Structure 1
Amino acid sequence: MAATSDIVATYRGPGRVVRRILGQGEREDRALIYLMIGCLMVFVAQMPRLAREAHVMETDLPMMLGATLLAWLFIAPLIFYAIGLVSHLIARAFGRKQSAFGARLALFWALLASSPLMLLWGLTAGFIGPGIEMSGVGLLWMIVFIWFWVAGLIGAGRGAA
């Protein structure tokens, strides 16, 4: 199934989608591409907000974009790998039988699958600016991301059992 179809299916059943992806085999290249595309989507979502901030504060937009690109495409993936390892260790401590790959995949897929809401947040931040609307969309994204991540972890654990 295409990644876009899987993203839509994730909004109906995130655990099933993660189990289906895990059923295709443990391929680290696939997990890494999910992570990198998810981080790229977050970077793209930041662009309207950064353009607004650069205009309001009269600062250099290319410098802000370069720093954000460095953060999201080079530093954030390392942090996500560390978070994936910690989530695997915590799940194992609670008796969940899953692989470290399953825990990483659940996290990376949650980031990618929730990226449409992150893009909406970026547009809200760029066009409307700080306020209740931006906070509401950000809260919605965070809730959906955590839902996808936890349901994906549970699904990965069931697939390994």
Structure 2
Amino acid sequence: MAITTEILKTYRAPRAALRRQLDGGPREDRALVYVFTACLLVFLSTLPRLARETHLNPEIPLDARIGGALLGWVFIVPLALYGIAAGSHLIARLLGGRGSWFGARLALFWAFLAISPLWLLHGLVAGFIGSGATLTAVSSLVTFGFLYIWGAGLMEAEGHGHAERQV
């Protein structure tokens, strides 16, 4: 199935979408592609905002801003996401989860990739409209959408809500 179709299905039924991903087996290559693609898309979404900030304050050149964003989103954030996924798995274990480390990673990485179209919208709003009520609304949509998809996916990955998986 095409990744874009799967992302749209995730908005309607995030648990079922992650279950389909998990049914493909533990493939770390797929998880890596998800996290790096998501981080690259988020990096690209920052470009309009960076151009706007450079226009408003030219003291810091655009290439320096882009370099910093590239370093952060493509090199540092993926490593941080691995740590966040491990932490979420440990917390889920304390709460009775019986999933795998891979499942926790996939839930987080998939949520990050699934929300990337909204990140692109956020970048356009930040770049063309700037701060204000519209950007706040879009930022809230991105945040709550991500937390919803990640939470539902993590529950699926950790086995919560399924009688056949509970002891």
TM-score, scaled relative to structure 2: 0.94
- Percent identity over the alignment is 51
- The 2-side partners of 1:29 and 1:2 are apart by 17
* Shift, 1:157, TM fit: 2.1
Partner SS for 2:12: coil
Q: How many residues align?
A: 161
* Matching residue of 1:6: 6
Cα separation, 2, equivalents of 1:41 and 1:135: 20
- Matched AA of 2:123: G
Mapped to 2, the partners of 1:38 and 1:86 lie a distance apart of 20
CA separation in 2, counterparts of 1:71 and 1:157? 29
The answer to whether residue 139 in structure 2 is matched with residue 138 in structure 1 is yes
- Secondary structure of the residue aligned to 1:136 is helix
What pairs with 1:37-76 in structure 2 (closer than 5 Å)? 37-58=37-58, 59-76=60-77
How much has 1:89 moved relative to structure 2?
0.2
Q: Distance in 2 between matches of 1:75 and 1:67?
A: 11
Q: Within 5 Å, which residues of 2 pair with 1:77-92?
A: 77-92=78-93
In the TM superposition, what is the alpha-carbon distance from 1:56 to its structure 2 partner? 0.4
5+ residue gaps, structure 2, are none
Describe the SS at the equivalent of 1:11: helix
Superposition TM-score, scaled by structure 1 size: 0.97
Aligned residue for 2:39, secondary structure, equals helix
CA distance in 1 between partners of 2:13 and 2:40 (Å): 24
Name the counterpart of 1:36. Answer: 36
Q: Tell me by how many angstroms 1:154 deviates.
A: 1.1
SS in 1 for 2:104: helix
User: What is the CA–CA distance in structure 2 between the aligned matches of 1:24 and 1:2, rounded to whole Å?
Assistant: 14
Q: What are the superposed Cα offsets for residues 66-116 of structure 1, whole Å, 9 maximum, x if unpaired?
A: 110010000000000000000000000000110010001000000000011
Q: Distance in 2 between matches of 1:131 and 1:92?
A: 40
Question: What corresponds to 2:15 in structure 1?
Answer: 15
